[in-house]
Chain A
Amino acid sequence: MRAGRHRHRHGHHWGRRLTIALAGNANVGKSVIFNQLTGSRQIIGNWPGKTVERAEGSLDIDGYDINLVDLPGIYSLSTYSMEELVTREYIAHEKPDVIINVVGAAVLERNLFFTLQLIEMDVPLVICLNQMDIAEDMGITIDSQELQEILGRSVVTTVASTGKGIRELIAKAIGVVGRPVQRQPIAFRHDIEADTKELSGMIEAEQLQLEYASRWVAIKLLEGDPTIKELVGSKSTNVIRAAATLSKRLEELHQEPSFVVVASERYALANQIVHDVQTRKTVKLSLFDRLDRLATHKIFGYVVSLGVIGLLLIWTFTIGTLLSNLFSRAFSFFQPVDPRVNGHLLNVLWNGVFGGFVAGVTLVVPYVVPFYIMLAMMEDSGILTRVAFMMDSAMHQIGLHGKAIIPLVLGLGCNVPAICSTKIMGTRRERLLAAFAITFAPCAARTIIIMGLVAAFVGIGWALALYVIDILLMVVVVKIAVKAVPGELTGMIMEMHSFKRPSLSVVTRQTWVRTKSLITLVFPIYMAGTAIVQGVYALGWFGPVNKALSFLTVGWLRLPVAAGVLLMFGAVRKELILLMAVAIFGSNIAGSLTPVQLIVLALVGTIYPCLATAGVLIKEFGWKASWAIIGANTGMAIVAGGVAARALALIFH
């Protein structure tokens, strides 16, 4: 694990250091609590070597200097997913002083399934019963006192979105530290409890020196958990043998696999607890419920889904254009930002760096950031889940499932953060396919080429046609990829959490996480790449490149010979195709290029990937898979361009 666990930016405090971890299901307001507690003192990164987000923050309270870790939202501690593995290892190896288990009051039973597992792990625990307001709206009341007694751990009720109970929560958590509390396990019923006791007794007797609590290890062995079996197996074959006998007996007795027996038992406990502490009365349908019904309606559901995506795009372009103009004006005040390719080499290079930066600020930021803000709001409110629900069968047509709609829509802003966010997909195969689909999504820069070359000089109809062609190509190519990549689609399991008002802090954080990849990955490539290509051009080295590529550009794509340079520039920044075309041919590009050439140039420019996309692909998927994607895209661009050049020649006679 990372060495910087105790790193504090505000190291001048004399307070005692504590590490507190937040753990719980997804969508229970864990991040809201984290944000409430840490404010802006956060570091968001990845778990070392994993694609799982790690959020850490600090706060000073009551003389304590607290390091707060927001663990990924999970439903269980089996090693089904990377998130679960990360959580399990963190708890075992880094041993936080206290774990705050955030529990969604509206979905108590499912949440308790996870709580019971934390109790099995025998960690210092405080239960935070959050989203009490949502539960109340649903007619649910929970006797938190009773719950506290049953669980034997402190329970604090909170409404994180308003900050209610947060102060008390942190005080309770601090209170747990250092007080030697008698932590009672929660007993299973009959045979399972007997087996667990027998096995954990053996583990204790053999003094195996495991990092995990013996009771938890015993339960995991009964379940047949492969990681734990390996861990214990390296120390004691006796225990493994006993565990095998016991779990076989359980299987024979219950006629189910042992992990099913244990999971059923845990849920039976959770169900019993809910029965004891919760009362539910029927309430009238709220406005949110009605909206929910509408959003998943057989007909109106589609209308809502398309409306949501449409709204997102309209908002992005309206706000984006406004901001983009504003920023461009501000920057052209300092220096002209058009690409410079002659004069002193240093000037050309500086112009490249500056131009790359300005392009990032005036082109990517104004469109992409408002887009992310809106998208994060839609995500947090729950409406995107409904879109994924409605779009699932359509997405199946290309071999992906409904959840892929979220990264795909993100790709309309910029492909780079979209590819990062394919994490929500279940398997590597699905992530890869979603990423491949994203590389075809017409991002903000591609839109500029289509608008600048085609809409301006050929007609808006042809520009729209290019979008349609782009999407059709995506469907066809991804369909082929689905067949080519071994494995099959895992089914979608998605929680439909209730609609809620989006939380400002969650939206801000989500937007920041996504924008960060722009600044760390896209900006440097923009700046260095632009400087390099401009420098190379100024040195006159592009002549041979043009000539070398002319068999492709002139012979196959029927473009002017200068297109070689345009496409090289476009690899760095897509909109440079347009800017360089203006620099080479003058502002009336249509005087030098025929409509067919304009369309072909835009089409090719839209399909092949830019360097930043290639960079993020390599970062997320390694070289081999990335080259396959980049190769497929580039090949597709060449084929489609050549075919289009010939087909369009017939239309434009």
Chain B
Amino acid sequence: MMSTSTEEYLEALYTLTQDNKTATTSNISKRLNITPASVTEMLRKLAGAGYVNYSRYQGVTLTAKGYEIAEKMTRKHRLLERFLHDVLKIGNDRVHKEACEMEHALSDTTERAICQTLKSPYKCPDDKKVIPACNLGFSSCEECKQWGDGLEKVGHRRTNVVSLAALKEKQVAKIAFIRGDNRALRRLLDMGLTPGTKVRISRVAPLRGPVEINVRGSRLALGEKIACNVFVEKQINAGARRIR
């Protein structure tokens, strides 16, 4: 079992490196409220275990292995926030702290149950960030819904995906997974967003507005909710990789 602090570090890094940015010791220290010296030490440990790429002057990025755990933890955290907020009616000022405590003990079974009860929620209640995709081996949310109890026979999907809503203008990415009911999925398929299709972000409207994408020679505006539910393959190797 992985230690709670490792999970917390990876989770912090997930958020800090979301826009293909590189995290620094000082912003990790600020986020986790831990002294820079301890952060440095911990980062060395994480690099040794293969979770992060870390060199003193170039900052920190997640490796594929680290990203997978970070994504999973972030998903559990944000899903719990949603649950605490929507079902248990706990205020926005409390949900973050509560979720932080609970996330490390949350099993896949409960995670799935929460996700189904809340009908695949797409963003967390407090800071409106995207809830990452799940990594269970279902081909669609509908299949997960129809699947009975027990996840033993369900494998895991290769994740390392990121929501379209997290991309910047001019970035290019490949469609990996679309979250939500079949209706939403079908609409997007009809418009050409089949798995593996390359899309290019051409416009991002401010204030959580829609995202305009180029797909198969056409231009589509996707509202925030849709954009949050469309996941594309994450370019690991970080750095500011942009394809023009």
Q: Is A49 an interface residue (CB 8 A)?
A: no
Give Cα A496–Cα B182 distance, bound, in whole angstroms: 24
| Contact yes or no, A492 B189, CB < 8 A | no
| Contact yes or no, A389 B143, CB < 8 A | no
Given known contacts A75-B191, A263-B189, A264-B195, is B221 in contact with A496 (CB within 8 Å)? yes
| Contact yes or no, B224 A491, CB < 8 A | yes
Q: Kindly list chain A residues whose C-beta atoms are within 8 Å of the C-beta of B186.
A: 76, 78, 80, 259, 263
| Contact yes or no, B140 A493, CB < 8 A | no
Given known contacts A260-B195, A267-B216, A491-B226, is B205 in contact with A392 (CB within 8 Å)? yes
Give Cα A401–Cα B207 distance, bound, in whole angstroms: 13
Mark out the residues of chain B between 19 and 74 whose CB falls within 8 Å of any chain A CB in the assembled complex: none
Mark out the residues of chain A between 378 and 428 whose CB falls within 8 Å of any chain B CB in the assembled complex: 385, 388-390, 392-394, 396, 401-402
Given known contacts A256-B195, A389-B205, is B224 in contact with A106 (CB within 8 Å)? no
Q: Kindly list chain B residues whose C-beta atoms are within 8 Å of the C-beta of A109.
A: 192, 216-218
Mark out the residues of chain B between 172 and 199 whose CB falls within 8 Å of any chain A CB in the assembled complex: 182-192, 194-197
Q: Is A255 an interface residue (CB 8 A)?
A: yes
Give Cα A392–Cα B224 distance, bound, in whole angstroms: 9
A88 to chain B, nearest CB (A): 14
Given known contacts A260-B139, A393-B209, is B222 in contact with A76 (CB within 8 Å)? no
Q: Kindly list chain B residues whose C-beta atoms are within 8 Å of the C-beta of A108.
A: 217
| Contact yes or no, B219 A401, CB < 8 A | no
Q: Is B104 an interface residue (CB 8 A)?
A: no
The A interface, classified by DSSP as helix, strand, loop or mixed, is helix
Q: Is A436 an interface residue (CB 8 A)?
A: no
Give Cα A113–Cα B188 distance, bound, in whole angstroms: 13
Q: Kindly list chain B residues whose C-beta atoms are within 8 Å of the C-beta of A255.
A: 139
| Contact yes or no, B216 A402, CB < 8 A | no
Q: Kindly list chain A residues whose C-beta atoms are within 8 Å of the C-beta of B217.
A: 106-110, 274
Interface centre among B142, B192, B217, B229 (most CB of A within 10 A): B217
A23 to chain B, nearest CB (A): 15
B55 to chain A, nearest CB (A): 35
| Contact yes or no, B210 A392, CB < 8 A | yes
Mark out the residues of chain A between 285 and 318 whose CB falls within 8 Å of any chain B CB in the assembled complex: 296, 298, 301
Mark out the residues of chain B between 90 and 121 whose CB falls within 8 Å of any chain A CB in the assembled complex: 119
B234 to chain A, nearest CB (A): 19
Interface centre among B119, B139, B209 (most CB of A within 10 A): B209
B155 to chain A, nearest CB (A): 10
Q: Kindly list chain A residues whose C-beta atoms are within 8 Å of the C-beta of B209.
A: 389-390, 392-393, 402
| Contact yes or no, A259 B218, CB < 8 A | no
Q: Is A257 an interface residue (CB 8 A)?
A: yes
Contact with B191, one of A271, A385, A492, A493 (Cβ below 8 angstroms): A493
Closest to A494 in B: B221
Closest to A270 in B: B216
Given known contacts A389-B212, A393-B207, is B197 in contact with A110 (CB within 8 Å)? no
| Contact yes or no, B191 A491, CB < 8 A | no
Q: Is B220 an interface residue (CB 8 A)?
A: yes
| Contact yes or no, A393 B208, CB < 8 A | yes
Closest to A80 in B: B186
Q: Is B223 an interface residue (CB 8 A)?
A: yes
| Contact yes or no, B226 A492, CB < 8 A | yes
Give Cα A110–Cα B192 distance, bound, in whole angstroms: 6
Q: Kindly list chain A residues whose C-beta atoms are within 8 Å of the C-beta of B196.
A: 264
Interface centre among A106, A270, A496 (most CB of B within 10 A): A496
Q: Kindly list chain B residues whose C-beta atoms are within 8 Å of the C-beta of A519.
A: none
Q: Kindly list chain B residues whose C-beta atoms are within 8 Å of the C-beta of A260.
A: 139-140, 185, 189, 194-195
| Contact yes or no, B225 A110, CB < 8 A | no
Give Cα A347–Cα B111 distance, bound, in whole angstroms: 75
B48 to chain A, nearest CB (A): 35
Given known contacts A75-B190, A78-B186, A393-B208, is B139 in contact with A491 (CB within 8 Å)? no
- When each residue 543-584 of chain A gets 1 if its CB lies under 8 Å from chain B and 0 otherwise, what string results? 000000000000000000000000000000000000000000
| Contact yes or no, A390 B190, CB < 8 A | no
Q: Is A495 an interface residue (CB 8 A)?
A: yes
B68 to chain A, nearest CB (A): 18
Mark out the residues of chain A between 233 and 271 whose CB falls within 8 Å of any chain B CB in the assembled complex: 251, 255-257, 259-260, 263-264, 267, 270-271
The B interface, classified by DSSP as helix, strand, loop or mixed, is mixed
Give Cα A109–Cα B185 distance, bound, in whole angstroms: 19
Give Cα A270–Cα B143 distance, bound, in whole angstroms: 28
Give Cα A108–Cα B216 distance, bound, in whole angstroms: 9
Q: Is B242 an interface residue (CB 8 A)?
A: no
B73 to chain A, nearest CB (A): 25
Q: Is B148 an interface residue (CB 8 A)?
A: no
- When each residue 65-89 of chain A gets 1 if its CB lies under 8 Å from chain B and 0 otherwise, what string results? 0000000000110101000000000
Q: Is B150 an interface residue (CB 8 A)?
A: no
Q: Kindly list chain B residues whose C-beta atoms are within 8 Å of the C-beta of A256.
A: 139-140, 195
| Contact yes or no, A402 B223, CB < 8 A | yes
B123 to chain A, nearest CB (A): 12
Give Cα A152–Cα B212 distance, bound, in whole angstroms: 35
Closest to A76 in B: B190
Interface centre among A108, A113, A388, A489 (most CB of B within 10 A): A113
| Contact yes or no, A110 B221, CB < 8 A | no
| Contact yes or no, B219 A491, CB < 8 A | no
Q: Kindly list chain B residues whose C-beta atoms are within 8 Å of the C-beta of A207.
A: none
Give Cα A345–Cα B168 distance, bound, in whole angstroms: 71
| Contact yes or no, B194 A492, CB < 8 A | no
B42 to chain A, nearest CB (A): 37
| Contact yes or no, B184 A78, CB < 8 A | no
| Contact yes or no, A257 B190, CB < 8 A | no
Q: Is B129 an interface residue (CB 8 A)?
A: no
Q: Kindly list chain B residues whose C-beta atoms are within 8 Å of the C-beta of A491.
A: 184, 222-227, 229
Closest to B122 in A: A491
| Contact yes or no, B220 A496, CB < 8 A | yes
Give Cα A220–Cα B139 distance, bound, in whole angstroms: 19
Q: Kindly list chain A residues whose C-beta atoms are within 8 Å of the C-beta of B203.
A: 296, 389
Give Cα A75–Cα B191 distance, bound, in whole angstroms: 7
Give Cα A401–Cα B224 distance, bound, in whole angstroms: 10
- When each residue 99-136 of chain A gets 1 if its CB lies under 8 Å from chain B and 0 otherwise, what string results? 00000001111100100000000000000000000000
Closest to A296 in B: B203
Closest to A274 in B: B217
Give Cα A588–Cα B212 distance, bound, in whole angstroms: 55
Q: Kindly list chain B residues whose C-beta atoms are within 8 Å of the C-beta of A392.
A: 205, 209-210, 221, 223-224
Give Cα A298–Cα B209 distance, bound, in whole angstroms: 10
Q: Kindly list chain B residues whose C-beta atoms are within 8 Å of the C-beta of A301.
A: 205
B141 to chain A, nearest CB (A): 10
Q: Is A490 an interface residue (CB 8 A)?
A: yes
| Contact yes or no, B224 A113, CB < 8 A | no
Q: Kindly list chain A residues whose C-beta atoms are within 8 Å of the C-beta of B226.
A: 491-493
Given known contacts A78-B190, A267-B192, is B210 in contact with A492 (CB within 8 Å)? yes
Closest to A298 in B: B206
Give Cα A259–Cα B183 distance, bound, in whole angstroms: 11
| Contact yes or no, A389 B139, CB < 8 A | no
Given known contacts A80-B190, A491-B223, A492-B226, is B212 in contact with A296 (CB within 8 Å)? yes
| Contact yes or no, A259 B189, CB < 8 A | yes
Q: Kindly list chain B residues whose C-beta atoms are within 8 Å of the C-beta of A497.
A: 219
| Contact yes or no, B140 A107, CB < 8 A | no
23 example contacts (A-B, Cβ-Cβ < 8 A) are as follows A78-B186, A109-B192, A110-B216, A110-B217, A256-B140, A259-B186, A260-B140, A260-B189, A270-B216, A296-B205, A388-B221, A392-B210, A393-B205, A393-B224, A492-B222, A493-B220, A493-B222, A493-B223, A494-B220, A494-B221, A495-B220, A495-B221, A497-B219
Top 3 closest pairs, chain A to chain B, by CB: A492-B223, A491-B226, A491-B225
Further 11 A-B residue pairs, CB within 8 A, beyond A263-B186, A492-B223, A493-B226: A80-B190, A107-B218, A113-B192, A260-B195, A264-B189, A267-B194, A270-B216, A490-B184, A491-B184, A491-B222, A491-B225
